[in-house]
Amino acid sequence: QQLLARTRRETSILTMDHCGSSNACERTSFIFLRQELPVRLANIMKEINLLPDQLLATPSVQHLQSWYVQSLLDLMNFHDNNPEDPGTLEDFADALIRIRNRHNDVVPTMAQGVIEYRETYGTDPVTSQNIQYFLDRFYMSRISIRMLINQHTLIFNGSANPAHPKHIGSIDPHCDVVAVVRDAYDAAKMLCDQYYLGSPELEIEEFNAIRRGSPIHMVYVPSHLYHMLFELFKNSMRATVEYNENVVIFPPVKVLLSLGPEDLSIKVSDKGGGVPLRKIERLFSYMYSTAPTPKFGDTSRAPLAGFGYGLPISRLYARYFQGDLQLYSMEGYGTDAVVYLKALSTDSVERLPVYNKSAWRHYQASPEADDWCIPSREPKNLSVTTPSK
């Protein structure tokens, strides 16, 4: 309760960038993190306890809760330690690495818990809505915690990536957006070639309204951008190949990048047949997937394929620094997926869930009758409907 009462301090990507500069102070980072990380853990742990009892009782969620309890205890051990002691700083960095490694499988473990619950008890609209609300907040909290841990350990623990010497922690002050697009495409293409023995080509168009004719660079976390684009390319390639299975050359996947005064927009377009409007929101649901449900620990598949978590978590990565990810589809033609990011690092401030009365009330909501007339069943598939005699 004392941790919940503390005010969390969201940071901007610019602040993280400056904190990792040549003037970075490990003691300052230690003092901030030993206070901030327990607060973030406590907030989300409080919300975990508001989930349905049957979901909390699943082995996967029980296991996950034990990780969070242990990590909170590990951090509280440093509450009264002297920041001037080099040994304390070294032990703290080691503890952060252990916490990060302990939580590596949080996403698939929680996904497995939801699957166990769904297969045993089924779902209803209110429970599904509460789980969707919780998982958005839970995974956003995880993104923020890992971001802070990575910044500290990469900068102060001597574990910086030699392949990216100019990165400040996990932040690239001059992120080459087109290069990240190509990397994500190449990784998705390799998977597509492996499964389908073919893949669509990539076409990129770049428009810089700030410095016309110049390549687009920005202050951002390349791994976050890569994660979003990789998921979008996987979806676009799968749809394109399956929808155009009888053609010799697949229609290309097109990417348009546009940098304006406020936003950097990245549009990924395909001719994969699109999806009906009524299904767009389902694509962002943790309870829905268009792929077969995988077995936990199956490494033969693409990451998270079948859990239905690719798009919703990609949207969280976009929203973490005040951006967004939206889908615009034309059934029978294809889909445009647009990633919106803040062009200015000063506007890229963390978006964090906060546990308060408003959050608590959300979990107590009871089903109410809808005040709009809504069709009660799926529309008929006229292509397979037998005409009456």
Catalytic residues: 227, 231, 234-235
- Structure tokens given for 56: 């909390």
Beta-carbon count within 10 A of 42 CB: 19
Q: Looking at residue 321, what DSSP letter applies?
A: T
Q: Identify the burial level of 157 via C-beta atoms within 10 angstroms of its C-beta, where 0-12 means exposed, 13-18 middle and 19 or more buried.
A: middle
Report whether 220 contacts 175 (CB < 8 A): yes
Q: Which element (helix H / strand E) includes 60?
A: helix 59-76
Residue 242's nearest CA partner among 270, 212, 283, 281 is 270
Spatial distance between the Cα atoms of 273 and 333, rounded to a whole number of angstroms: 4
* Dihedral sign (CA 56, 62, 64, 66): positive
Query: How does strand 202-208 pair with strand 253-259?
Result: parallel
Q: Phi/psi of residue 263, each to 5°?
A: -120, 145
Neighbours of 40 (CB within 10 A): 22
Residue 251 gets which letter from DSSP? Answer: P
